[in-house]
Amino acid sequence: MRQSIIGGASRHWLVGAALLVAAAAPVRAQGNGYLFGVPDVQLTVRAGWFLAGANSDFYDQARQDFTLDKSDFNSPTLGAELAFRLTPQLDFSLDASWSGMSQGSHYRNFVDNNNQEIEQTTTLRRVPLTANLKAYLVPRGRSVGHLAYIPSRVVPWVGLGAGATWYSLEQSGDFITGSGAVVTDQLQNSGWGPAVQGMGGVDFTLTPRIALTGDARYLWSRASLGSEDFAGYDKIDLSGVSLALGVTFRL
């Protein structure tokens, strides 16, 4: 009986070891330049710089009154995209990004009664949320036999998307009223506006499951400045160009 138990345990251990070896084999193969099966989902995270269009009357007034330039509305940007394979060269993706700036300034042509600058800070944040179609301009990889899939080393792509942009605008500090008095105040507004974007880039394969991605996008978006703090302005321009580098994970 003892030998039977030991023999049974040994057989179970051998079966378990065989299963572990079989499970580990695809992992080693994937590390040798190919995948077992075509990846159906990709996740990209990126970071870069947003170049603001700043083409509406809010920016014109801010640059006229305060020591702000158009470039002061540029900012860092972060983003993430989840893409689902539709065809060998077409993906549907969901994308979210963030950009934000905060810049101090003072009136260009006025000082207070103590001959001190009248200072304030302008803060603007944008969060575009879009759904996109991405077309790959060359095949993303090739199948070898029924199981192995080898990703292409360099794959350029283009895309179009639409959605909405959330924004938050704040100006805080000292301001000159219509009567000439200097008051401390905090002006705020936030809201949503429609968004359309065009994009393009290139994926450079590093490993079968990881690629370095260069990403360029043009976002068009405008939203109402609906609060009393910014009454009288036209829609604020949230458009701009973003340039970023990212890492793509093939899942």
**What pLDDT does 233 receive?**
95
Going from N- to C-terminal start, the domains of the chain cover 1-30, 40-250
Average pLDDT, the chain: 89
Name the pLDDT band for 146 (thresholds 50, 70, 90).
confident
First to last CA, the chain: 49
Q: Is the predicted pLDDT of residue 66 greater than 80, yes or no?
A: yes
How many CA atoms lie less than 13 Å away from 53 in the CB half-sphere? 16
Name the pLDDT band for 205 (thresholds 50, 70, 90).
very high
Other Cβ atoms closer than 10 A to 81 = 25
Residue pLDDT, tens place only, 28-54? 335 456 788 899 999 999 999 999 999
Most confident of the ranges 20-24, 26-30, 111-115, 120-124? 120-124
Please classify residue 123 by burial: count the beta carbons closer than 10 Å to its beta carbon, then call 0-12 exposed, 13-18 middle and 19+ buried. Answer: middle
Q: What is the DSSP letter of 73?
A: G
Q: Is the distance from CB of 212 to CB of 249 less than 8 angstroms? A: no
Kindly calculate the radius of gyration of the chain based on its CA atoms and give it in whole angstroms. Answer: 27
Q: What is the DSSP letter of 235?
A: P
**What pLDDT does 226 receive?**
82
Q: Give dist(CA 220, CA 56) in Å, integer.
A: 13
Average pLDDT estimate for 50-63:
97
**What pLDDT does 31 receive?**
46
pTM of the model: 0.84
Q: Is the predicted pLDDT of residue 181 greater than 80, yes or no?
A: yes
Class of domain 40-250: mainly beta
